[in-house]
Amino acid sequence: MTINQAFEILARVGNVHDARVITENTQKFSRIKVWYIARALKHGVPVAKIIHHKWFYGLKFYTNRHTLDPRPDTETLVAAVIADCGKDAKPYILDLGTGTGCIIAALVKNIPGTSGVAADVSRGALRVARRNIRNLNLDNVVRVMHRNFNNPRAFTEKFDVIVSNPPYIARGDLRVNTGARHDPKRALYAKNNGYAAYESIAKNAHKWIRSGGKIYLEIGDGMSKMVQKIFTDAGWKFNRVEHDLSGIQRVLIFEK
């Protein structure tokens, strides 16, 4: 089957944009392969899950069913950390719930002299993160570790910066799009109406960060006030909020 034939079939099932991205990133097509891809599109599988990669902050990341696909909203978090780092900062960074490793990889690539730890409770996600860290030649500066941020003894060392895009969707939230059905539930949903992960991090991260260190958190739409309360009640000092390109409060920053 030719690329043009595959494009026409996929455009009818999905849309022109998705069909173009898929055909431009697939080397060979057979009838069976096109049928499989068309079926995936029909069931709402995101294009990144079909071609197994997504660009984030100018870097290409492998992704699969064990991880969230890197999203533009999360670039707000990366930009906030970079903006706070001076020329000679060289922070030691902890990425909690690293998934693909996109956050810490983008930070290490853009802040000279930076190193850190990418941690996740999902072994499937850790395999993806290791693959991306290796592909980006960051093995010597980023360690990938199986850790759970619900465990206060998860880390024995201290970090200058902690970053996290934790699960923050409440079960039953109707704003979740169809593509999210193909993401790992563990990375999406949290108890206590979506706030459980923030509660754990606010309580435990004091032990993992140096005095004067900062923590950067991605949040969902409408969660800013409650997450601020959770952290300030736990003894953190609120620094500021950052908005994404849609004007939504997307990142909260706290200091120890």
pLDDT tens per residue across span 121-156: 999 999 999 999 999 999 999 999 999 999 999 999
- Note whether 16 and 93 are same-domain residues: no
- Note whether 8 and 124 are same-domain residues: no
pLDDT tens per residue across span 230-252: 999 999 999 999 999 999 999 99
- Who's near 24: CB < 8 A, 6+ residues apart? none
Q: What is the pLDDT of residue 182?
A: 79
- Is position 196 within any domain? yes
- Note whether 136 and 193 are same-domain residues: yes
- Note whether 96 and 213 are same-domain residues: yes
- Is position 220 within any domain? yes
**Cβ atoms of 166 and 95 closer than 8 Å:** no
pLDDT tens per residue across span 156-213: 999 999 999 999 988 777 667 666 777 888 888 889 999 999 999 999 999 999 999 9
Which pTM does this prediction carry? 0.92
Q: How many domains does the chain divide into? A: 2
pLDDT at position 254 over 70: yes
CA distance 216 to 47: 28
CA distance 5 to 69: 28
- Note whether 125 and 230 are same-domain residues: yes
At 229, which CATH number? 3.40.50.150
**Cβ atoms of 163 and 103 closer than 8 Å:** yes
CA distance 23 to 248: 33
- Note whether 34 and 79 are same-domain residues: no
**Please, which pLDDT band fits residue 66 given cuts at 50, 70 and 90?**
very high
Is 181 or 56 the better-scoring residue by pLDDT? 56
Amino acid identity, residue 81?
V
- Is position 59 within any domain? yes
- Note whether 64 and 157 are same-domain residues: yes
- Note whether 88 and 15 are same-domain residues: no
Query: Rounded to an integer, what is the distance from CA 173 to the centroid of its chain?
Result: 20
Helices (H), the chain: 3-13, 16-24, 31-42, 47-51, 75-84, 102-110, 123-135, 185-188, 191-194, 196-204, 224-233
CA distance 4 to 19: 10
Q: What is the pLDDT of residue 195?
A: 96
- Note whether 38 and 81 are same-domain residues: no
User: How many residues are there in the chain?
Assistant: 256
Q: What is the pLDDT of residue 1?
A: 81
Q: What is the pLDDT of residue 29?
A: 86
pLDDT tens per residue across span 24-39: 998 888 889 999 899 9
- Is position 104 within any domain? yes
- Note whether 145 and 19 are same-domain residues: no
Is 185 or 103 the better-scoring residue by pLDDT? 103
Identify the domain containing residue 8 by its residue range: 3-43
- Is position 96 within any domain? yes
Q: What is the pLDDT of residue 178?
A: 67
The residue-averaged pLDDT of 56-65 equals 96
- Note whether 92 and 9 are same-domain residues: no
Q: Return the DSSP state at 137.
A: T
- Is position 107 within any domain? yes
- Note whether 37 and 100 are same-domain residues: no
The residue-averaged pLDDT of 205-234 equals 96
pLDDT at position 114 over 80: yes
- Is position 116 within any domain? yes
Q: What is the pLDDT of residue 139?
A: 95
- Who's near 131: CB < 8 A, 6+ residues apart? 62
The residue-averaged pLDDT of 4-20 equals 89
- Is position 48 within any domain? no
